Amino acid sequence: MTRIDAKFEDLRARGKKAFVSYVMAGDPDYDRSLEIVRGLPAAGVDIIELGLPFTDPMADGPTIQLAGQRALEAGMTLARTLEMVRAFRAEDDTTPIVLMGYYNPIYSMGVEKFLAEAKDAGIDGLIVVDLPPEEDIELCLPAQDAGLNFIRLATPTTDDKRLPRVVQNTSGFVYYVSITGITGSAEANATDVSPEVARIQKASGLPVIVGFGVNTPEKARAIAEVADGVVIGSAIVNRIANGDSAEDVLAFVKSLADGAHSA
C-alpha cells in the first residue's frame, strides 16, 4: 500500500473528500517553493501534486507555463526537484507526493535511475501527461514494479471504448480533467462532471479526483460533492506569480481545502 492508497483509505473512513494541491517545484525559486510545499499539509492538503519544470509543457496554460519558466530560470532541474522532496520528507513522512510532468526529463535521466531516485526521495506516484497507455512499457509498468502509483488522466473525450485502456494499468487514483483544453482555460461544472466521475469510478474501481477549472472554495466544495476529491493548481500558482508571501499563499490554500473538506 502506497501513501496515496493509505490516504484514501483514511479519508473514506472519516467520510471526507480529498483536497489535492498543485504547485510547480522551484517556483519562484527553490527556497520559497520548499517553504510553501512544507506548509501545504498544515493548510489542509491531503496530497501534494508537484510539477516538474519542463521547457515545452504542451498540456498547460499560460499560468503553469510561466511557473515552469520561472523555476527553470531559477535553476530547477529534475535532480533538484527530487532533492526538494527529500528535504520535505525529512519533516513529513506521511503526506503523499505525486510528481506531475512530461517524459523527456525522466527519459534523459534514464528510467531505471529515475525510478530508484524517485522512490528513495519519497515520491509516491507519477502523472506523465505525454505517455499514452500504448507506451505503458516505457514507464508505467516499471513504475508500478518499483512501488509507485501511475496515475492516468481521463477527459471529457475519453469515451467508453477508450476508457478501459486508459484505466487498465492505472493505480492510486484517476485524474479527471473536467474540461477540454489547457489548464486554467475554463470553469468546471459539477452537473457535467458528476456522470463522468461515476462512469470512471465504475470502469476503474479507483477514486476519481477532478481538476482543471476549479479556483474558489465554493467550486472546490461543489466538485468534491460529486467526486472523491478535487485538485487545484492554477489558482494557487497565480498567487505565487503575483508575489504573495508563503503565508498568504498557504492561507488561500487553506480556504480551498476547507471548501473541499466541507463537501
Task: For the chain, give the DSSP string.
Answer: --HHHHHHHHHHHTT--EEEEEEETTSS-HHHHHHHHHHTGGGT-SEEEEE---S--TT--HHHHHHHHHHHHTT--HHHHHHHHHHHHTT-SSS-EEEEE-HHHHHHH-HHHHHHHHHHHT--EEEETT--GGGTTTTHHHHHHTT-EE-EEE-TT--TTTHHHHHTT--S-EEEE-SSSSTTSS---HHHHHHHHHHHHHHH-S-EEEESS--SHHHHHHHHTTSSEEEE-HHHHHHHHTT--HHHHHHHHHHHHHHHHT-
Selected residue with higher pLDDT from 210 and 184: 210
Q: CA nearest 127: which of 225, 10, 226, 209?
A: 209
Note if the pTM is more than 0.85. yes
Arithmetic mean of pLDDT, 74-91: 98
A 10 A CB-CB count for 75 gives 11
Q: Which value, in Å, is the radius of gyration of the alpha carbons in the chain?
A: 17
CATH class of the domain at 3-152+215-261? alpha beta
pLDDT at 132: 94
For the record, the C-alpha cell of 254 comes out as: 487553506
What pLDDT digit, counting tens, does each position of 155-186 carry? 999 999 999 999 999 999 999 998 765 555 55
| Pick from 10-19, 31-40, 111-120, 187-196: least confident | 187-196
Give residue 213's pLDDT band: very low, low, confident or very high (50, 70, 90): confident
Q: Where are the domains of the chain?
A: 3-152+215-261
User: What positions carry a catalytic annotation?
Assistant: 49, 60
pLDDT tens-digit readout, 114-138: 999 999 999 999 999 999 999 999 9
